[in-house]
Amino acid sequence: MKPERVRIKWAPLLVALALLLVVPTAQAGPDKGYRAFAEFRANPSGCRETYALVTVTQMEAHNPPGPRVPEVTVELIYHVRSTCADPGDFLFYYEFHTEGPVTIPSGDFSIHSGLNWATLNTTLPVFDEEAGIGFDLDVEVLWTATGKAGPQARPADAVLEVSAPFPLQYADSNPISGPLAAELRKLR
């Protein structure tokens, strides 16, 4: 009888130890990712300057016991301003922007692991500074790598196109290409 009691006393301890060895510990936060960045300034007519800045960050997070999953955030600034007054025209300025990083579905962003290209095709909630309202803005960006790849980053060319639920009548630069700066980067 005594051997059975010893087995029963040790059984809960052995089960607890087995669970500690089998159940993975939670990892805190993301551990690797990518970033695509582009900044544009265009003024083809000489009277309407369009400025845009878009940054996409894809981090890979692991919350055991599930698989690693990408978490994608986007920050956007888009504004148009008049730089001269044409006859019958007026001076104006409008700006749309995200209010901090906005999380989007991971399928809305793709980036090549070798930093050859990246694409963003999503809808972002933005705030209209002039009207003081929020609305959804469709955003499409295509990055194409240029030049040599560095160990962590690669310069790129980019094209940005936006579509609002109303005509962007003042923007004579949609889509915008030829960025001031654009880059594809691996994050560690």
Percent of the chain with pLDDT over 70: 76
Which of 59, 178, 35, 3 minimizes the C-alpha distance to 120? 35
- pLDDT of 52-80, one tens digit each? 999 999 998 777 888 888 899 999 999 88
Q: Residue 138, CB half-sphere, CA atoms under 13 Å: how many? A: 10
pLDDT of residue 44: 77
87 confidence band (pLDDT: 50, 70, 90): low
The model's pTM: 0.77
Dist CA 124 CA 136 (whole Å): 5
In the chain, where the domains are located = 24-187
Percent of the chain with pLDDT over 90: 46
